[in-house]
Amino acid sequence: MQTQNAPETAEYQQTDSELGRHLLTARGFHWIYGTSGDPYALTLRAESDDPALLTRRIREAGPLWQSATGAWVTGRHGVAAQALADPRLALRHADLPGPQRHVFSDAWSNPQLCHIIPLDRAFLHASDADHTRWARSASAVLGGAGGATAEGVREQAGRVHREAADRTGDSFDLMADYSRPVATQAAAELLGVPAAQRERFAATCLALGVALDAALCPQPLAVTRRLTEAVEDVRALVADLVEARRTQPGDDLLSTVLRDGSSAASPAQDALAVGVLTAVVGVEVTAGLINNTLESLLARPVQWARLGEGPDLAAGAVEEALRFAPPVRLESRIAAEDLSLGGQDLPAGAQVVVHVGAANRDPEAFLAPDHFDLDRPAGQGQLSLSGPHTSLFGAFARLQAETAVRTLRERRPVLAPAGAVLRRMRSPVLGGVLRFPLTTSA
């Protein structure tokens, strides 16, 4: 039966039974391939296997090796850096016009596991040229450079984090009470979401939080439906904001993109894309980076204490967390043409997956890679947030995470875990946190 709430778009005109069957089939293939011990298939299953062990096995399997899933996988830093920088490796199939609907082909005769669901409506399969243009048009706000606009974003971040920290009590949940609320509020202020729409925006961002995982790992049917509905909701919300900014521009992100005027298509479409990606990617990556940085620091009380002596260490802590515990662990690409990589000849259409977590702990690139080190020299080449849409929010996520570290260390110096971190199942890309209980008393 056709769901009553499914968005009526060309991408999602699947009945519940059709979509459910597709999701179960894809998950079944991951389970089948995982039974042979394939570490990438086991990573995609994202169940109870030790992720640290799988990370090592992926790196040790070779510079670039073919998984039973069909993907070519690397966890070696050198090959990973080449892959992420190669313009011939893109987010979509170059020879398939329109939405990436090959995902709904006959999975039994020709399993296509490179894109589990089409996310074109969320702009996650856009071209590198599109992402380059969006980054250029948004750079005044998202680029992290100096200037009045960037300084305004920095001041705004400080206010948002101070207010959130002051709302916490003797115990609180880092994700539910701090990381997600500040990431969502910061994104809402970037976009100029009016107060009357903030609750709607927050609920939509929560449903969108599984998007990067859903691209590679089948989510339950109900979660997938909520995701696709949230994509349509955020498109509608942002489209209304864009229309308002066209007549009454401000200094927000959408107005900045509209003023750029370098769009090959239309400034309004570019503003829509940047706004949607802010909700789909920016919020979750930012919340994840805040969580991962605090988790890494609080597990090492001596390093947490050092931040009180030198608040400037916050930037280094975030950069080390990006290496040690990346907020986006997997980057998937499609070869636009025949190419050679890591000693392998790959045909056009081949899927290449970079395991960022494994590459960031490659002992060939990093000294003592399994050690979280506040004093690790900057510029050693960690590969986190190197994707087209993740790099768009790299400076924004860093700023929010640095502000979180400084603010919590100043206002909640006696901070410690009050229980284990609980992560979402079926979250191989993000390692999404559900709960992280903390206490503020000794």
Q: Which DSSP string do the residues of 207-273 spell out, in sequence order?
A: HHTTHHHHTTSPPPHHHHHHHHHHHHHHHHHHHHHHHHHHHS--SSHHHHHHHH---SS-HHHHHHH
User: Three-class SS of residue 344?
Assistant: strand
In a 13 Å sphere around the CA of 119, the CA atoms on its Cβ side amount to 31
Which strand (E) or helix (H) includes residue 338? none
Please give the structure tokens belonging to residue 296.
């890494």
Report how far apart the first and last C-alpha atoms of the chain are (Å, whole number).
Answer: 56
Residue type, 202: A
Contact status, residue 41 vs residue 27, Cβ threshold 8 Å: no
Is 111 inside any structural domain? yes
* Rounded-to-integer distance, Cα 381 and Cα 116, Å: 30
Contact 34, 42 (CB under 8 A): yes
Q: Is residue 17 part of a domain?
A: no
Is 20 a member of any domain? no
Indicate whether 36 belongs to any domain: yes
**Domain membership flag for residue 327:** yes
> In total, how many domains does the chain have?
1
pLDDT along the chain (442 residues), means of 10: 41 81 92 94 84 92 96 98 96 69 61 86 92 91 66 85 94 96 96 96 97 96 96 98 94 92 77 97 98 96 89 91 97 96 95 97 95 85 92 94 96 93 94 95 70
Contact indicator for 207, 229 with CB cutoff of 8 Å:
yes
Q: Which residue in 139, 161, 162 sits closest to 149, CA to CA?
A: 139
Taking the model in full, what pTM does it have?
A: 0.93
pLDDT value of position 153 = 79
Tokens 């066209």 belong to residue: 246
Beta bridge mates, 433: 423
The identity of residue 187, as a single letter, is A
- CATH number, domain at 152? 1.10.630.10
98 within a domain of the structure (yes/no): yes
Classify residue 410 by burial, with Cβ atoms within 10 Å: 0-12, 13-18, 19+.
Answer: middle
Q: What is the DSSP letter of 24?
A: H
Q: What is the dihedral of CA 183, 311, 144, 322, to 10 degrees?
A: -70
Please return the burial class of 438, using the count of CB atoms within 10 Å of its CB with bins 0-12, 13-18 and 19+. buried
**pLDDT at 8 (0 to 100):** 43
C-alpha distances in Å from residue 10, one per residue of 116, 343, 380: 16, 40, 44
pLDDT at 213: 97
DSSP summary character for residue 188: H
What DSSP element (H or E) covers 108? Answer: none
How many Cβ atoms from other residues are within 10 Å of residue 11's Cβ?
20
Q: Does residue 143 sit within a domain? A: yes
* Residue position matching structure tokens 């890679």: 369
Instruction: Tell me whether residue 62 is in a domain.
Output: yes
User: Cα–Cα distance between 192 and 331 in angstroms, integer?
Assistant: 30
CA distance 141 to 190: 8
What gap in Å lies between CA 329 and CA 73, rounded to an integer? 13
**What are the DSSP E strand ranges found in 16-138?**
65-66, 72-74, 89-90
Q: Angle at which helices 128-142 and 148-167 pack, to 10 degrees?
A: 80
Structure tokens at 34: 């995982």
Alpha carbon distance 409, 161 (integer Å): 12
Q: How far apart are CA 153 and CA 256, in angstroms?
A: 13
DSSP calls for 379-417: TS---TT-SHHHHHTHHHHHHHHHHHHHHHHHH--S-EE
Count the neighbouring beta carbons within 10 Å of the beta carbon of residue 356. 29
Containing structural domain, residue 399: 26-439
What are the backbone angles phi and psi of residue 256, rounded to the nearest 5°? Answer: -60, -45
